[in-house]
Amino acid sequence: MSSLKITLLQSNLVWENKDANLAHFEQLISELKEQAEIVVLPEMFSTGFSMKPELLAEKMDGPTVNWMRKMAAGKRIVLTGSVIIEEEGNYYNRLLWVLPNGQIGQYDKRHLFAYANEDQHYSRGDKRLIASVKGWKILLLVCYDLRFPVWSRQQAVEDEAAEYDLIIYVANWPERRNHAWKTLLQARAIENQCYVVGVNRVGLDGNNIAHSGDSMVVDPLGEVLYTKVQEEFVQTITITKEHLASIREKLPFLKDADDFNILL
């Protein structure tokens, strides 16, 4: 059975300032004392949750993506977080999954936050991304996706106990709704019998909206293994397949789940 080391970077973000944010995260990653395998950054980590993609978007060969490649290669890590990307005239809130060899997986945020007019500025995705590291299957999602359990629900996989073992959410989730954030992270872990990692930002954004962080690691029973409020932090957590397998064996609830298809 394998373990997996995941480093959470909960940080304030400098509003719409790529250079400042990348420099800050580069320092944090460069100073990592414990060898991580996956390093998780917040949603729109290089800009903050901006509705100005026409000014801030970049291509897949742009500076932020190239920076992620450099950091992943230099530290021999998988680096993930979401970035504003332009492609064929459309803008995407795109989660990038960057491997040390430079290969990139991508997931375009499905559920756009209409309350902040995200749906007026960005195009939504229509495909999930399940990555694989050391035999772990990892579902990658972004912020508002957390409120929609069907999109993250384990689906039947032939000859396998589950479709995935871990969900990672990157977010800019406001403090005034942090009760929902914390509750839903635990709910997604319980209902899908998987680990859940949620990485959020702290501080005020350019719209004077406060973020309390509350980044969290949750086990498959919904138990909180780590969380921190308000402060910037860098923390590495080790999760184990033994614990996951033991829970699924003792409580084989997934086999009783409903079969369904998602119609896009």
Residue 264 lies in a domain: no
Neighbours of 31 (CB within 10 A): 8
Residue 235 in any domain: the answer is yes
Domain total for the chain? 1
Determine, yes or no, domain membership for 137: yes
Q: How confident is the model at residue 259, as a pLDDT? A: 86
Does 199 reside within a domain? yes
> Residue 114 is part of a domain; what is its CATH number?
3.60.110.10
Pairing mode, if any, of strands 233-240 and 210-218?
A: unpaired
CB atoms within 10 A of CB 224: 14
With respect to residue 262, please indicate whether it lies within any of the assigned structural domains: no
In a domain, 146, yes or no: yes
Q: Tell me, yes or no, if 143 is annotated catalytic.
A: yes
Give the sheet arrangement for strand 38-40, strand by strand.
104-108, 90-98, 78-87, 38-40, 3-10, 233-240
What angle in degrees, to the nearest 10, is found between the helix axes of 18-30 and 63-75? 0
In a domain, 133, yes or no: yes
pLDDT score recorded for residue 17: 98
Does the active-site annotation cover 109? yes
| From 43, 58, 118, 175, the catalytic residue | 43
What is the Cα–Cα distance from 28 to 135, expressed in whole angstroms?
A: 27
**CA-CA-CA-CA torsion sign (196, 202, 206, 209):** positive
Q: Catalytic one among 16, 18, 58, 109?
A: 109
Half-sphere exposure of 36 (CA within 13 A, CB side): 28
User: Annotated catalytic, 43?
Assistant: yes
Whether the CB-CB separation of 224 and 195 falls below 8 Å is answered with no
In this structure, is residue 261 part of a structural domain?
no
The domain of 122 spans 3-256
| Residues lower than pLDDT 70 in the chain | 1, 159
Please give the pLDDT value at position 14. Answer: 98
pLDDT for position 165: 98
Q: For 143-185, write each residue's pLDDT tens digit.
A: 999 999 999 999 877 767 799 999 999 999 999 999 999 999 9
* Residue 51 exposed, middle or buried by CB count within 10 Å (0-12, 13-18, 19+): middle
Catalytic residue among 118, 143, 175, 194: 143
Alpha carbons 59 and 88: distance in angstroms, whole number:
10
pLDDT on residue 83: 98
